[in-house]
Amino acid sequence: MLPIMLDLATLKAAYAAGLTPFDLVEEVIARRKASDDPAVFITETADEDLRAAAKSLMEKAPEPNSLPLWGVPFAVKDNIDVAGLPTTAACPAFAYQPEKDSVVVARLKAAGALVIGKTNLDQFATGLNGTRSPYGAPRSVFDKSYVSGGSSSGSAVSVAAGLASFALGTDTAGSGRVPAAFNNLVGIKPTPGLVPNVGVVPACRSVDVVTIFAATVGDGVAIRKVMDGYDAGDPYSRKAVPVGLPGSGLRIGVLEGAEREFFGNAAVEALYDQAIERAKSLGATIVPFDYAPFRQAAELLYNGPWVAERLAAVKEFIGTNADDFDPTVRTIIEGAKAYDAVAAFEGQYTLGHLRQKALVEWEKLDVLMLPTSPTTYTVEAMLADPIVKNSHFGRYTNFANLFGYAAIAVPGGFGPDGLPSGVTFFGPSFSDDALAPFADAMHRACASGMGKDKSAALPDASKVAEPDDGLVTIMVVGAHLTGMPLNHELTGPGGTLVKTCRTAGDYRLFVLPNTTPPKPGLIREPGFAGKGLEVEVWKVTPAAFGRFVQNIPAPLGIGKVTLEDGSQVSGFLCEPYAIEGAQEVTELGGWRAYIASRR
């Protein structure tokens, strides 16, 4: 029996064990029928068409997992063309039948993925909350009284509820990120221009991005790599020049002072603070920064001339079908009539000045980490104040595409009310791959599960590996810890701290007799049920590692140590004979605590 979440690693393993796409399709059909949210899909792929797609895949590629996304079910936001299914943009009067797939859908199908349906959205992708659709309002999978986030509402819910392995959304102001936060998912927002928009109904054509909702960062990145690549048919398509980030010791910008706005939601603010501490534990350097220029740029998207782009996208249709628009969407789009060409240029000038101010902040940062949304609301509250409350969701999202950034949203845990929150990592243009390892590490450290399944463990197979920086990783447990007497043997040759963490629970710690300064002896005892010991993971050059190991005195040596997350790293271990008669300090939890106890 398949688990709730149909992540790529789970499906790949199931297919290798004998599951077939025919079995998978029947499972999807059953799950769609059992769904308790009738507003997720606008158009479902017919059962027989799904079965035919599985048959076609088996004829084309009969070997299990022989294509990158072999037999993987996905949903598509209904402003993205899928041949054979109508595109509505959540406006029935606008609906048309596309003759061919959008570029991204065609690439995903060629990789073996199966479309299960077109999902609901805020009409014409105008909104961040998911209530602006005549097809109903998809709800948070954790509480049906709350919004699911928008505009890619149905896409997020389809993944979080286990109906699809991944789903496509679009993101102009945050629509590929806010629904991820509200449904405990990962949201991958590529750099504008990295993924083609041909076959996508535009919202703001110059800044629109096709996005991915997935169970893990690794899944999202793998799917994005199938989709991305220059396309001359898209006037805003760009040839990527990948940008790297430090493999360790990331400088992460966080909010401070008056820029920390959560609109009274103390639970989300507490979860953001927890995320900051989590980032520290993973070796990041936390740097408060001035969010003001980013916030001011964000305000331009709806309270500036960019709203005129939304009118440009539907100019002819709204001229003849204004009454077919959602009232809030119509109000926003018709507000564009207040802007002229002069205002458009003035907006560009303002954005340019704000970009320069933002660059000053980037001089002290590698990435930004912001709350994906500062709060959430019930459907009832949103409908009562749709424009103001929707704007709250975009406080930390709207600037991203205007500035051309890459972004990855990851889960950030659950508040006392049982509702999830999230944080988003932002990097420079084309830092998409470089952002992924730390974002993945943060998701794993949060241990919030995947989608609706809060207890699910993230598969090791989907883990995003750190880029190879040519350095050697080493774990230290005693006198080489930060602030301890021998730490200079790491920092002197330029070593950098990667993270502070704990070992697996079956390690014991002893004080070796007759050592100056005092040295620990770490041994592994299979079956020992401890809580793990605090250690640090560092990176050094191969030459420094060689000198370091050469100078280690017996009975110490370097071996593989298992950490609490199940990963293994080279680190200090002790030969068992040396602990005979030695003082055990395991219960203190680490060497630093032992040293403190002696004072």
Quick check: is 1 in a domain?
A: no
Residues 455 and 501 in one domain: no
pTM of the predicted protein model: 0.83
Q: Is 251 exposed, middle or buried (0-12, 13-18, 19+ CB in 10 A)?
A: middle
Annotation marks residue 77 as catalytic = yes
Annotation marks residue 151 as catalytic = yes
Number of separate helices (H) and strands (E) present in the chain: 19, 21
From 441, 462, 483, give the residue that closes a domain. Answer: 462
Annotation marks residue 56 as catalytic = no
Nearest-angstrom CA–CA distance, 544 and 471: 10
pLDDT tens for the chain, 599 residues: list them. Answer: 899 999 999 999 999 999 999 999 999 999 999 999 999 999 999 999 999 999 999 999 999 999 999 999 999 999 999 999 999 999 999 999 999 999 999 999 999 999 999 999 999 999 999 999 999 999 999 999 999 999 999 999 999 999 999 999 999 999 999 999 999 999 999 999 999 999 999 999 999 999 999 999 999 999 999 999 999 999 999 999 999 998 767 999 999 999 999 999 999 999 999 999 999 999 899 999 999 999 999 999 888 888 898 999 999 999 999 999 999 999 999 998 889 999 999 999 999 999 999 999 999 999 999 999 999 999 999 999 999 999 999 999 999 999 999 999 999 999 999 999 999 999 999 999 999 999 999 999 999 999 999 999 999 999 998 776 778 999 999 989 999 999 999 998 888 888 899 999 999 999 998 888 788 999 999 999 999 999 999 989 998 898 888 888 889 999 999 998 888 999 999 999 999 889 999 999 999 999 999 87
At 95, the amino acid letter reads: A
From 462, 483, 506, give the residue that closes a domain. Answer: 462
| Active-site hit among 153, 165, 175, 373 | 175
Quick check: is 253 in a domain?
A: yes
Residues 485 and 380 in one domain: no
Residues 105 and 157 in one domain: yes
Residues 444 and 483 in one domain: no
| Active-site hit among 77, 189, 389, 463 | 77
Look at the chain and report how many structural domains it folds into.
2
Residues 454 and 481 in one domain: no
From 438, 462, 486, give the residue that closes a domain. Answer: 462
Q: How big is the CA angle at 140 (ends 163 and 13), to the nearest 5 degrees? A: 30
Q: Residue 23 is part of a domain; what is its CATH number? A: 3.90.1300.10
Domain span holding position 152: 8-462
Quick check: is 2 in a domain?
A: no
Residues 483 and 432 in one domain: no
Nearest-angstrom CA–CA distance, 486 and 195: 49
Residues 457 and 476 in one domain: no
Asked, as a colleague might, if the bond just before 152 is cis with ω within 30 of 0, I would say no
Quick check: is 467 in a domain?
A: no
Length of the chain: 599
Residues 450 and 505 in one domain: no
| Active-site hit among 151, 152, 248, 448 | 151
Residues 296 and 413 in one domain: yes
